[in-house]
Each structure stands twice: as C-alpha cells, then as structure tokens.
C-alpha cells in the first residue's frame, strides 16, 4: 500500500504553448487542492522552475527549462498523502489525466513511489 505519491511530469515536446497551458492548469488544480488539503505540497527542484510555474513565462520559458534540466524536463509537482484523506491511488491518477484533457499520458503507473506522467 502506497501512502504518499509524488507526481512527476515529463515533457519532451517543443510545443511551448501546450506546455504553458498544461502546467498552469495543473498548477491551478494543485493550488485548489492545497486550499482544502493542507498537506499537499507543490515542490520543484529549481527556483527558475517555480517562477515559471507561477506564470513568469517570459523569463523562464521551455528552452530555459531545458537548458537547466536537460531535454527531458521533469518536474516533481506535488506529493499527496493518500491515507490521511482516504484518496485512492487510481482516483488521483485518473483525476490528473482527466484534468489535462488528454494532454497527459501515463508513462509508468508507479515506480519507487512516483507516478510518471508524460506530456
């Protein structure tokens, strides 16, 4: 039984607009979850990425991200405590896939406590 999940997004496309749209909509979803579920954390591994996620797209664009993080951009966007909120692992993954309106694909279901989603 997995009690915490880390959501990792992989982005290997050059479509800047698609990336902006998806990341900002996912960030809004995570933000609304944070309001109601206090231990959902948004975590990224670079200050520039956090600024990018907050909407500073001019300074931190996809090319900048690729320079910083390599061609396959990976962002650890949130971790969710399943046990505390009675969430099902499947529900969480299904919710993220639905929220992306078909832009996300499940790359690996679970590996070492991480869900890998591919844009």
pLDDT at residue 51 greater than cutoff 50:
no
Nearest to 38, CA basis, from 86, 80, 68: 80
60 to each of 31, 43, 90, how far by Cα in Å? 20, 17, 33
Report the pLDDT value the prediction gives residue 43, as an integer from 0 to 100.
Answer: 44
- Mean pLDDT across the stretch 64-85? 50
Q: How confident is the model at residue 90 (pLDDT cuts 50, 70, 90)?
A: low
* Range scoring the smallest mean pLDDT among 33-47, 75-89, 93-107: 33-47
Alpha carbons 9 and 103: distance in angstroms, whole number:
11
Q: Which domain holds residue 80?
A: 4-118
Q: With a cut of 60, say whether residue 41 has pLDDT above it.
A: no
- The mean pLDDT of the chain is 52
pLDDT at position 17 over 60: yes
| In the predicted structure, residue 71 carries a pLDDT above the cut 50 | no
The structural domain count of the chain equals: 1
Going by C-alpha positions, the residue among 116, 90, 118, 89 that lies closest to residue 104 is 118
């Amino acid at each position: 039984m997995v009690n915490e999940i880390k959501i990792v997004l992989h982005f290997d496309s050059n479509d800047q607009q698609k990336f902006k749209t998806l990341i900002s909509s996912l960030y809004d979803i995570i933000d609304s979850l944070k309001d109601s579920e206090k231990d959902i954390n948004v975590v990224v591994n670079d200050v520039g990425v956090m600024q990018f996620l907050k909407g500073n797209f001019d300074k931190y664009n996809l090319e900048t991200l690729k320079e910083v993080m390599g061609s396959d951009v990976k962002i650890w966007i949130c971790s969710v405590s399943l046990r505390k909120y009675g969430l099902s692992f499947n529900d969480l993954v299904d919710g993220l896939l639905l929220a992306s309106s078909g832009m996300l694909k499940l790359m690996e279901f679970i590996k070492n406590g991480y869900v890998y989603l591919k844009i």
